[in-house]
Chain A
């Protein structure tokens, strides 16, 4: 609803903004142009794609849940408790964002692989080997997705008016009750935004997954891995899978827009 008095957008901003939009839109247009539209239904319903889709959805949602369960408390501690070494912790948490995912995957292998720092004693004690299992996918996804959640939620907590929490305390609410009933509802949009970002990152994760979890249809071959593998042998399948990824991502992002996209 533009008022006649609404200021007009300065042209340099429009030009650069349009360029930014093109950077995103042009590759998507290339994908659509290359897509085998007539064969799409049969390609998309093949067992490889269905397995990969199911696996991607399950692991990305699990990774998001894990990120929320450990990330929210961590964000709360970083925002509210001035503990020694807080800045260092904050830096460490952002590390997976700057680390190349393949390096992350290799690091996970060194730590949790069969001969890894933790993985070896774990395997000896329980016989459980994480690489090449669906758990490895969830762990790899959580590793890359967690920082997005923590940073978003911490930002929201820092910007929150703490007087509401003080009011709740004065009414007799314990710190946990305040967190559950006052703080989290107050930052709900940011929490959703962080969760959606984390989910999106987990869904698209490739390097850490293939390095740590391996590549096995039905168990560890997520949609991105399926695209990579078929890119070299069967282009059409690769494009079809890519379109599935785009469709899934778009529908979730748009479907949840009221929760996480504040106008």
Chain B
């Protein structure tokens, strides 16, 4: 019992010291440390922003970008609750609007990429999917993103426009979780972004929709950003020609 108490105290002290040490380090830029820029980005931007991160850091060695990826609604909740991040990039204007209403943005959000929704199937299209109507087939396992997630709202629009009563089997919290289940063979057909099909690395293929449903990704620095310089620099990079080239390489279109 005595040993437990002693180890407990030691642990508390260690954590406290680590915490203080950490705080000291982040506030002091003079010890040849790079400034961390925390970027919240939607899951659909995973590969594009990874490349942008590398290019940005190469061009601006002063900054060290940290990416935090999640579904857009999750990001907005974090921003509303006051996460100490510098930049937020969502996959739709609707989600970004919530952050704006909460007064969390330092500048007007900038649209920087558009993404189209497509039907994704395993490569070879074994079930012979040709359009949204096929999503009503009861024997297929169908997945879309949950309502509130940009990709989920877009999916609802696609199905409404096509007048299809789809037999959905699961509403996933973000588009990458959805894609993973398709790639693993747990689902037969999903509605994801065009860029996700590319990210599927040859194991999935797209079935084009007759009508385009697009979402627009926007980006903005946050009003309480710990590193406002880094935030602005990052946003500027994303809409720079270099940033744009990375986005189009990854399958996005430009607004």
A→B interface (CB under 8 Å): 109, 113-115, 129, 131-132, 210, 214-217, 219-221, 228-229, 231-234
B→A interface (CB under 8 Å): 71, 73-74, 76-77, 141, 143, 146-149, 168-173, 181, 184-186
Contact partner of B171 among A114, A131, A229, A231, CB < 8 A? A229
9 interchain pairs, CB-CB under 8 A? A114-B185, A129-B141, A132-B186, A216-B168, A216-B171, A220-B170, A229-B147, A229-B171, A233-B148
Taking the closest CB of chain A, its distance from the CB of B47, in whole angstroms, is 22
B73–A214 CB distance below 8 A: no
Contact partner of A229 among B141, B148, B185, CB < 8 A? B148
Taking the closest CB of chain B, its distance from the CB of A25, in whole angstroms, is 21
Residues of B within 8 A of A215 (CB): 146, 170-173
Taking the closest CB of chain B, its distance from the CB of A219, in whole angstroms, is 8
Contact partner of B71 among A129, A132, A232, CB < 8 A? A232
A232–B148 CB distance below 8 A: yes
CA A109 – CA B187 in complex, angstroms?
12
B172–A232 CB distance below 8 A: no
B76–A232 CB distance below 8 A: yes
Q: Which residue of B lies closest to A132 (CB)?
A: B169
Contact partner of A214 among B149, B172, B185, CB < 8 A? B172
A210 and B148 contact, Cβ closer than 8 Å, known pairs A109-B186, A232-B71: no
Q: Which residue of B lies closest to A211 (CB)?
A: B177
Q: Which residue of A lies closest to B148 (CB)?
A: A233
Contact partner of B169 among A214, A228, A231, A233, CB < 8 A? A214
CA A129 – CA B74 in complex, angstroms?
30
B141–A132 CB distance below 8 A: yes
Residues of A within 8 A of B71 (CB): 232
Residues of A within 8 A of B172 (CB): 214-215
Residues of A within 8 A of B77 (CB): 231-232
B185–A113 CB distance below 8 A: yes
Residues of B within 8 A of A129 (CB): 141
Residues of A within 8 A of B147 (CB): 229, 233
